[in-house]
Amino acid sequence: MRGLVIRLIHCSRGLALVEFAMVAPVLLMLYLGGYVALDALTCNRKVTLAARSMADLTSRYSAVTTSDLTTIAGGATQIMWPYGSSTSITVRISQVLVTSSTAATVVWSQGQNITARTTGASMIIPGNLAANGSYLILGEVGYAYTPPASYRGFGSVALQQAIYMVPRISTSVSKS
């Protein structure tokens, strides 16, 4: 019996298989976790890009119509591909009049899959963004990111971005 125990202690056949079986689940979790994290970061970047594009496109007009804003908001769906559809992405484009270093009043607003801001409503803006009496275009995009592979308790993550831009062609963008 003693000889059998000594032989088993010195035998290394199958040791690599046992080590791999112990390490494989950890490596698989690291791989999947990295994939999901990078996918979420990519989606978040697309939300930021969509908000910036909506504000930038609107700021290039001197006057917009409801149809123009609907077309611009539809561009968010193209930017967010393959993550969202036209019904899962919220887009709101607004123009605000800066009334103090941290406050503004909504001049006009239009939303897609979200309620437009109320005209004349006050809102808080980041400090010292623009001078009093100036206008800003606000592009807002939101998306509920659901990871392609998730584990218990990890559901959707709300991704939102708001970008302010100064009108380029004129001091304000009128809406008709």
Q: What is the pTM of this model?
A: 0.82
91 bridge partner residues: 112, 141
SS3 160: strand
> Which pLDDT value is given to residue 8?
66
In sequence order, the 6+-apart residues with CB closer than 8 A to the CB of 119 are 106, 107, 108, 109
CA distances from 3 to 9, 14, 15, 63, 122 (A): 10, 20, 20, 93, 87
> Which pLDDT value is given to residue 174?
93
> Which pLDDT value is given to residue 166?
95
pLDDT, tens only, 106-148: 999 999 999 999 999 999 999 888 888 899 999 999 999 988 8
* Distance (Å, whole) CA 124 – CA 145: 26
Write down the mean pLDDT value for the chain: 89
pLDDT above 90 coverage of the chain, percent: 60
- Residue 80 phi/psi, 5-degree rounding, is -80, -5
Residue 32 above 90 pLDDT?
no
For residue 25, whether the previous peptide bond is cis, meaning omega lies within 30 degrees of 0, is no
